[in-house]
């Protein structure tokens, strides 16, 4: 599909990790960017770097996607700046490690707000414009966590199952249009994710992780090719297939064991 003009891509969670690397991939292809996250300084630093390197237009929007009106705010800010968003990358997300009943409920509900509600609201706000123009796409960042329940990270795994189901359904609804709807499902990746998830807990075991750069590049290439479900790496692909055939009770115990092994209270 050929862009009607130089396209604009909005990336949430562009201040670090996979989102920052995805923003770089789009920038390298000369897409203009709208960068969204809470950390304004990190976004501005990235904007300065990418403007200088690729001569593209970049708008920074500071937003806390845990706030209920944040998606509407981002949509309005983009509109005020006269920006038509062609591609939406719903990448912002976080998880918390621990037993559901022991973690602060308010903070856990923010997982649902950022990972599910903001992602859904941004999709609902930006998609009609894409459909009208019959051009665009949405890349949601899910996780291999989507494919099984996640004791000791229960809401995070559940939120990614939602992202998986929602994105695949949307892709089927919009098949036959020029729009690409994809879900990128990384496994363990070297970013700030673990630090946020464990809070004050001590890391007991370090899972070998892919680089955020590799995950983003792979995700970007497959998205541009129109693939709906994007799983980087053979080990992640195998894990996702394996859990489909193992007894569900065994999978629950296995994930609980792994999650308990990683961090110590
Ligand atoms: N790392 C992994 O092992 C892994 C595996 C599978 C899937 N993922 C998924 O990959 C995505 C990116 O995570 P990452 O691994 O790159 O972790 P990261 O380095 O912690 O990046 C998370 C990004 O989300 C943004 N974010 C978090 N809470 C936000 C909020 N309330 N409002 C606005 N932005 C918020 C952060 O920006 P600010 O802090 O500046 O707001 C940051 O830019 C997430 O959806 C995550 O679930 C990660």
What residue spans define the domains of the chain? 8-264
How far apart, in whole angstroms, are the C-alpha atoms of residue 35 and residue 92? 11
Q: What ligand 1 atom has the least distance to the C-alpha of 42? A: 40
Comparing 68 with 198, the larger pLDDT belongs to 68
Overall average pLDDT of the 4-26 stretch: 95
Q: In what order do the strands lie in the sheet with 136-141?
A: 58-62, 32-37, 8-12, 87-90, 136-141, 179-184, 229-230
> Is a pLDDT exceeding 80 seen at residue 52?
yes
Active-site annotation, residues: 156
Per-chain mean pLDDT for the chain:
95
Comparing 117 with 195, the larger pLDDT belongs to 117
Distances (CA, A) of 224 to 122, 182, 192, 201, 243: 20, 10, 26, 39, 28
Alpha helix (H) residue ranges in 90-211: 105-111, 119-133, 154-173, 193-198
Residue nearest to atom 46 of ligand 1 (CA): 93
Strands 202-203 and 263-264 come out as: antiparallel
Q: Is 19 in the pocket of ligand 1 (CB under 6 A)?
A: yes
pLDDT for the residue 3: 60
Give 113-137 pLDDT, tens digit per residue.
999 999 999 999 999 999 999 999 9
Q: Is 119 in the pocket of ligand 1 (CB under 6 A)?
A: no
Which of 97, 112, 193 is closest to 159 using CA atoms?
A: 112
Q: What ligand 1 atom has the least distance to the C-alpha of 64? A: 32
Q: Is 159 in the pocket of ligand 1 (CB under 6 A)?
A: no
Structure tokens at 78: 């983009």
- Give the contacts of 225 (CB within 8 A, at least 6 positions apart): none
> Which superfamily is assigned to 8-264 in CATH?
NAD(P)-binding Rossmann-like Domain (3.40.50.720)
> Is a pLDDT exceeding 90 seen at residue 97?
yes
DSSP 118: I
């Amino acid at each position: 599909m050929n862009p009607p003009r130089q396209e604009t891509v909005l990336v949430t969670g562009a201040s670090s990790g996979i989102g920052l690397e995805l923003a770089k991939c789009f920038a390298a292809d000369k897409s203009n960017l709208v960068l969204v996250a809470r950390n304004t300084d990190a976004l501005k630093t990235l904007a300065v770097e990418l403007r200088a390197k690729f001569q593209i237009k970049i708008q920074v929007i500071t937003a806390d996607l845990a706030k209920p009106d944040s998606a509407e705010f981002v949509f309005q800010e983009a509109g005020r700046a006269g920006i038509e968003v062609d591609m939406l990358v719903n990448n912002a997300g976080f998880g918390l490690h621990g037993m559901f009943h022991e973690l602060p409920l308010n903070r856990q509900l923010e997982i649902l707000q950022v990972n599910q509600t903001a992602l859904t609201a941004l999709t609902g706000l930006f998609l009609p414009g894409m459909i009208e123009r019959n051009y665009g796409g949405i890349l949601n960042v899910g996780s291999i966590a989507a494919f099984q329940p996640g004791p000791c990270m229960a809401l995070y795994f559940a939120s990614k199952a939602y992202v998986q189901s929602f994105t695949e359904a949307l892709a089927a609804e919009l098949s036959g249009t020029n729009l690409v709807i994809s879900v990128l499902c990384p496994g363990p990746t070297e970013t700030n994710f673990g630090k946020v998830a464990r809070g004050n807990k001590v890391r007991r075991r370090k899972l070998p992780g892919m680089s955020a750069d590799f995950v983003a590049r792979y995700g970007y290439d497959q998205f541009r090719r129109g693939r709906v479900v994007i799983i980087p790496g053979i080990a992640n692909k195998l894990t996702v297939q394996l859990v489909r055939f193992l007894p569900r009770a065994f999978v629950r115990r296995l994930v609980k064991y792994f999650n308990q092994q990683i961090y110590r209270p």
